[in-house]
Structure 1
Amino acid sequence: MSLYRNAVWFLNGIHQYTRKGYEAAFRDFEPQDLDVSVVGRSFMITGANSGIGRATAMAIAKKGGTVYMVCRNKDKAEEAKLDIVSESGNSEVHIHIVDMSETQKVREFAEAFKRQYPALNVLINNAGCMVHKRELNAEGLEKNFATNTMGVYILTETLMPLLQKSRDPRVITVSSGGMLVQKLRVDDLQSEKGDFDGVMVYAQNKRQQVVLTQQWAKANPVILFSSMHPGWADTPAVSTSMPQFHQMMGDRLRSVEQGADTVVWLALSRAAGRMRSGQFFQDRTPVAAHLPLAWTQSSAEEVQGFMTQLETLARAYLQNAA
């Protein structure tokens, strides 16, 4: 079954996830969707100093939005901010230094942000990592899971009250088409069983993000939740984490701006605001979150078990902090 999933996924990818796939989809885009001004609206973007996060921050700043860049590296964040402010002419760009793999630090940041700011219109969960050997963070969580899943969960859950009282609130999570080869493994969220494969662990985390998005949408009707696949884009993260894939694909990879396009569309456009909450998007279009005949769907009991485990972990860190 895994061979079938990988084969179907790769064939789909060659046609849809590459630069040519974007160019084909682009012909059906409505140009006026992004002919908007978002002056007065606020956007938090994690991992905003490079790749898709940086391209997203730049696009939003150019439309007049207030941008909160959540970054791990202060020097890189400052450099990116200077470029964004200079090119966009928008000085409402702010840096917050947070390592998304440090669960308690993420919670502390989100709580402080709620106290400091009266509103947050859009949260973009973009930061991620692909660590190829099993490492634990200071709190004992596997590092990929801590960054890609637990950090996203803690940040979003903690900021939910602020989003709920803001106008037209949206949460966008940058997932990956790689999640299509993975079924949610409720009994092994932190990849403790079997051989550790960083690429597959990343894909499993991305499946977890899609399930989270679906569950948040059901529980919070006031907020528009979306997850998306940016396609195969030429980002620093891809070149570092998957050098062989990066070299093999070469010029077929999308630009970072093409990879960020659907994030920007989901964050800014009125058309996206009319979409049903909880969907998975590719090139501005909702697409299936499962490959046909791949048997990656989860039962209601499995999904509830997944959510319960996340809630239990979150409560444990809240108690430890107190």
Structure 2
Amino acid sequence: MSIYRQAVWFVKGMKEYTKNGYTSASKHFNASDLDVQLNGRNFMITGANSGLGKCAAVAIAKKGGTVHMVCRSLERGEEARQEIIETTGNQDVVLHQLDMSKPREVYKFAKAFEESGKPLNVLINNAGCMVNTRELTEDELEKNFATNTLGTHILTTTLIPVLMKADKPRVILVSSGGMLVQKLNVADLQFAKMTPFDGTMAYAQNKRQQVIMAEKYASEYPAVHFSSMHPGWADTPAVRSAMPDFYEKMKTRLRSAEEGADTLIWLAISEAALKQSSGLFFQDRVPVAKHLPLAWTKATKEEEDQLIKSLEELSKKFQQCENSGPIA
């Protein structure tokens, strides 16, 4: 990452991504955008047991939506599910256990959901990780890439047939403003050449990939509304555990998890969001630039196409498995 990008990004972040940035931006929100009832609509949220995902699950359940929580930990997921039910009074909260870093399991889960006949209106790709050492999964995939990029791609593309049966289907990818400091690097998707390995930059590269993925999906599947978003700098368990130094320095300036989740919820449920073009990147309910000025982070069409091609090739490799049958 260049010193220029880092400096410009940090200045931008201090102005826009903090709690004060949210307070300023929220003065222009239309409160009625979220005044909707979601009875009969179905939402799947990955990483729904804490942080932004849990906030979104609570907000949707309060409005009557059916929530499918996709969580890596069965114990933490069930604890969160019970809390959401008690808080909202909505019993239609379903827990699914899934590790997004395991592509075979992601594919099996998505196919089983399709075969179950259950409807799905909105998919929220929120689950993610920031592993600060280069760690390989049992499939010999770098863990950040496996979770944040490949798992998200497999889940999204496999569920497209289900979403296309729904009214006004949407897919949201929870990205990060950190992606602004990264240019797509299709030559090293799994960071084998990154020396020394930097988990923060690997995460930012994954988030750049997600923004491009949302663009490409929007072009490929025009019947579905796609968007990516930046929650700002929010106080979540993930930030505290993965970025302890950043948290300690910024904790008095961080947004609450609810403030960070506001745009995610707005994209998932408001009619106003559907008036925006598919494939855009949002911050505080408005589409924003995907690149910093003069930062030289724009990829070529060939590079973007290569990203999708690489993901498709890996996806096919891990789709050689039996379907898991009907799911609860």
Deviates more, 1:232-241 or 1:298-307: 298-307
Q: CA deviation at 1:321?
A: 6.1
Name the counterpart of 1:67.
67
Q: Which amino acid aligns with 2:272?
A: A
Name the counterpart of 1:210.
211
What's the RMSD between the two structures over aligned residues? 1.0
Name the counterpart of 2:183.
183
In structure 2, how many angstroms separate the alpha carbons of the residues matched to 1:247 and 1:177?
19
Q: CA deviation at 1:118?
A: 3.4
Name the counterpart of 2:31.
31
Equivalences for 1:276-291 in 2 at 5 Å? 276-291=277-292
Q: Deviations over 1:250-275 (max 9, x none)?
A: 12100000000000000000000111
> Does structure 1 conserve the Cα–Cα contact (< 8 Å) formed by 2:145 and 2:189?
yes
> Does structure 1 conserve the Cα–Cα contact (< 8 Å) formed by 2:38 and 2:63?
yes
In structure 2, how many angstroms separate the alpha carbons of the residues matched to 1:144 and 1:101?
8
Q: Deviations over 1:169-202 (max 9, x none)?
A: 0000000000000000010000110221000000
> Does structure 1 conserve the Cα–Cα contact (< 8 Å) formed by 2:43 and 2:66?
yes
In structure 2, how many angstroms separate the alpha carbons of the residues matched to 1:153 and 1:74?
23
Residue 196 in structure 1 maps to residue 179 in structure 2: no
Q: Deviations over 1:110-168 (max 9, x none)?
A: 01111113321000000000001111111111000000000000000100010011110
> Does structure 2 conserve the Cα–Cα contact (< 8 Å) formed by 1:39 and 1:63?
yes
Name the counterpart of 2:153.
153
Equivalences for 1:65-144 in 2 at 5 Å? 65-144=65-144
Q: CA deviation at 1:319?
A: 3.5
Q: Which amino acid aligns with 1:226?
A: S
**Structure 2 segments unaligned to the other structure (5+ residues):** 324-328
In structure 2, how many angstroms separate the alpha carbons of the residues matched to 1:171 and 1:320?
25
In structure 1, how many angstroms separate the alpha carbons of the residues matched to 2:16 and 2:206?
22
Residue 243 in structure 1 maps to residue 244 in structure 2: yes
Residue 275 in structure 1 maps to residue 276 in structure 2: yes
Identity %: 57
2:320 counterpart SS class? helix
> Does structure 1 conserve the Cα–Cα contact (< 8 Å) formed by 2:46 and 2:69?
yes
1:252 counterpart SS class? coil
In structure 2, how many angstroms separate the alpha carbons of the residues matched to 1:312 and 1:189?
13
1:276 counterpart SS class? coil
In structure 2, how many angstroms separate the alpha carbons of the residues matched to 1:179 and 1:316?
28
2:44 counterpart SS class? strand
Q: Number of residues paired by the alignment? A: 322
> Does structure 2 conserve the Cα–Cα contact (< 8 Å) formed by 1:104 and 1:321?
no
Moved over 4 A (4+): none
Q: CA deviation at 1:320?
A: 6.3
In structure 1, how many angstroms separate the alpha carbons of the residues matched to 2:130 and 2:251?
20
1:94 counterpart SS class? strand
